Structure 1
């Protein structure tokens, strides 16, 4: 089962919850749709993968994904070839909050060598994402990374991009 958010035209929020057979969430189309979308929440979707098409809602302000066991990367852009070498791309210029919880297969924020730029991002919350070991992103306005100490300590601090966020740790739980 797939969910295609192609025909909805004036939504501020999409929330998909507890859909055990949903295999793919496709956001965007070839036409500019969902432009007013500001809040996307996906939870308890054990089989779902997330795919962003060429035209997608770049007005997103809050992204919350939790309990989606099949998601291995946050951004999979459909129809774009991965070039060689690092490429920095801005997908969500207005995103200020990103919450990633209980994503056991999440290894990366993006496809291949793409580095995501989040110019408005202020807060990232990460909980129970054991395979996410690098923060390959650009977020000059980032104020805090709220997470479990165990996850923070297993990050790859040899990676220069990840290292630039060392001072932003905020404990999720009292250690």
Structure 2
């Protein structure tokens, strides 16, 4: 199986590589369109600020490629947010895969949300054999509101979509690669899709 992690200069790449290796697979880092198109599975990571990350995607010509991929694609954290219509962070237009706009947490809560929080209302094979209310690791100041494409929910002052799914596209706000055995099981489920 060929696994490609999209390398566009805004990713939490090493921890994802190590998690995939622990599962017994090898991943390739690439921003080469041919290599990404030829992959069986694509992981779209993201760390940092949305408008900067989107600029990096545009510089590497990937903003048109990613929404048209046909194989399973997994966006993580900022990767998932960039797959949405837009984000308030840097007033950034997204890739428009998920039909939801990412917004900032209100001032009622400590921002960023950093640490462990529960996921529930789990739907989709991404969460096969994952019990409700497991704790996952999150670091974020912006979130996707609950919507038709939500496949997991988390509560941090408001209930929001902590995972999204549409067609061959999946995204998690949490970091499965930093969420222990349960997170690795979710990665493994993605690789088995």
Sort the TM-score into its range (normalised by shorter chain).
Answer: 0.3 to 0.5
Question: Highest relative contact order (Cα 8 Å, sep 6+), 1 or 2?
Answer: 2
TM-score by length of 2: 0.32
Indicate the structure with greater helix content: 2
Length-normalised TM-score, structure 1: 0.34
